[in-house]
Amino acid sequence: MATPSKKVYVDEDVGKDDPAADGSEASPYKTLLFAYIQHPPTQPTDPQYFTRKSETGPVSEDGDPEARKEWKPATKSATKKVTSLYEQHKKKLAKTDTLALREKAEQEKRQLALQEALKVKISEDPKLPKATKIRLNEKDPAIVKLRKGTSEKDVGYSEGRGSRVRITGRVHRFRTQKDVIFLVLQDGYGFLQCILTGDLTKTHDALTLTQETSMEVWGEMWEVPPGQHAPDDRELHVDYYEIIGKAAGDKDAITTRVQADGDPQSLLDNRHLVLRGEISSSVMKVRAALLRAFRQTYESEITPPCLEVTPPCMVQTQVEGGATLFEFNYYGQKAYLTQSSQLYLETCLPSLGNVFCVAPSFRAEKSLTRRHLSEYTHIEAELDFITFDDLLVHLELVMSKVIELALADPKIKKLVYDLNPDFQVPERPFMRMRYSDAITWLREHDIPNEEGKPHEFGDDIAEAAERKMTDIINRPIFLTHFPVAIKAFYMKKDPQDLRVTESVDCLMPGVGEIVGGSMRMDDYEELMAAYGREGIDPKPYYWYTDQRKYGTSPHGGYGLGLERFLAWMCGRWTVRECCLYPRFTNRCTP
């Protein structure tokens, strides 16, 4: 007697596609495909598959949905459909199995190769000339061997040139082509193409090479063959190397952790690794060049020169309004991180003459914009016995000199134009535009204020409107004579129009405001009235006010945000790319 067919049950409502279910009436599956996978058909009618779902059952009188269900053999059309799906499933399984087998075979082959590679030992040939240790900023042509001819056979080297060198660095990139490894080493001073051949490519280290591995290479420096390109047109024919520190590979490889189009938060978390990239390190090199250029400009490119001073960062007074103060507890007293060193610079004028400083400034900015940082490098200068016009002329001269000096170094010029091919050196004099004319301009160009209304005299020109205007005009603008009410307490009023101040913002295309400056209130009574107007207690400012008591003078100055200047020059989208480890709303790491 034939054994009765096995019965497998599928309930589309409450069944479970889970190996914990067994396909019985009490523990049905959810889909017919899963039932096929768990209990494949062995005969056309074995097993028998039964299905049910609410809609297929008879309507019960009392409306109980459970009562609507009854088990029915799987329909012909459902069986046809599931048979095709089941065949696809089997094919997919077979393919996965083949792939897994192939991968396993490849892994075994690689393991064998790695074990063999362990036997390959390399050593420095004692007969070779002693190598000289160099860094990649050493570009003396005499260390490079020249090729005599263009064909490989014809290769020889010129008498008296070329030497064996040793260089430490990290693997910037590499590729293996036939039996040759081409790797580019980076040492912070430059890049060097290295060529590894023979046993050098067969060691365990060579087979497991990873980007960022630190190593020392020994070899002869050669001119690159005609028609080929390499940094500084030279390449090292390596005869020996030692690995100093292997860099993580696979899932932990730097290329996995840092991807050019990666999500911005992850790039910021991995800023220490991002900084190893060519773009970020180029920006940092231009930053250093700008700092050098500022110092050189202040000290020796302008008359009279400005002396560098270093004011404190921990203060008990505000400069640019209470809203952006970072407060902390200083031995039980309220203190702040400085917003600007301006007030301290003013106190230096009588004995030191014109002064400047390069110091961090801190702003508890609530807005998360691409041009606001919580900590930035502030370049500030203060000039004594000047007029407002003197201040503007000085400012455009300093900015132009700084750009000129930075670009005078061919390495920096290349970095700037690689980063920002459209960079244009601004022409002096910069365009001057009074605030009141800017309001008219914005109205004429239908650029509304933050409330969506036409701009009115007295409005604080918002960032978006300011940027639109700067981008349309597309050249540096000195925006001057802002109304008293929207500027800081210390700014001097324009004697010709007491509604406005002798103030200036320098606006740059693409970035907006990069400099803020003004003439300072030099009259004692007027300053006291300004404290009152702004609700500032004059007591903690006694040292600042005293400047007006002991030989006051017409003076003025400005502050320039280094990161904004850099973003403009290097064509960066945000100031966050223009400092080592950016601090902004809610980010104080790494």
Per CB under 6 A, residues contacting ligand 4AD are: 319-320, 340, 342, 363, 365, 372-373, 376, 378, 380, 513-517, 557-561, 563-564, 575
Instruction: Find the radius of gyration of the CA atoms of the chain.
Output: 37
Least distance from C-beta 486 to ligand 4AD, angstroms? 12
Least distance from C-beta 388 to ligand 4AD, angstroms? 13
Least distance from C-beta 391 to ligand 4AD, angstroms? 10
Looking at beta carbons only, is 254 or 392 nearer to ligand 4AD? 392
- Give how far Cα 422 sits from Cα of 215, 418, 571, Å: 37, 9, 8
Determine the Cα–Cα distance for residues 257 and 15; give it in Å rounded to an integer: 42
User: Identity (one letter) of the amino acid at 81?
Assistant: K
Least distance from C-beta 572 to ligand 4AD, angstroms? 13
Q: Of 36, 33, 14, give the one whose Cα is nearest residue 25.
A: 14
Looking at beta carbons only, is 169 or 557 nearer to ligand 4AD? 557
Q: Of 474, 480, 532, 467, give the one whose Cα is nearest residue 506.
A: 480
Least distance from C-beta 435 to ligand 4AD, angstroms? 14
Asked whether the beta carbons of 267 and 261 are under 8 A apart, the reply is: no
Looking at beta carbons only, is 82 or 504 nearer to ligand 4AD? 504
Looking at beta carbons only, is 502 or 563 nearer to ligand 4AD? 563
Looking at beta carbons only, is 394 or 564 nearer to ligand 4AD? 564
How many other CB atoms sit within 10 Å of the CB of residue 331? 5
Least distance from C-beta 376 to ligand 4AD, angstroms? 4
Report H helices in 359-514: 388-408, 410-419, 435-444, 463-473
Phi-psi region of 535 (alpha: psi -120 to 50; beta: other; left: phi over 0): left
Structure tokens, 511: 């970035």
Looking at beta carbons only, is 220 or 577 nearer to ligand 4AD? 577
Looking at beta carbons only, is 201 or 470 nearer to ligand 4AD? 470
DSSP secondary structure, 239-279, as one string: EEEEEEEPPP-GGG-HHHH--TTS-HHHHHHTHHHHTTSHH
Q: Of 163, 167, 219, give the one whose Cα is nearest residue 191.
A: 167
Least distance from C-beta 426 to ligand 4AD, angstroms? 16
In three state form, how does the secondary structure of 505-528 look?
Answer: EEEECCCEEEEEEEEECCCHHHHH
User: Identity (one letter) of the amino acid at 114?
Assistant: L
Least distance from C-beta 504 to ligand 4AD, angstroms? 10
Looking at beta carbons only, is 195 or 286 nearer to ligand 4AD? 286
Q: Which residues pair with 587 in a beta bridge?
A: 584
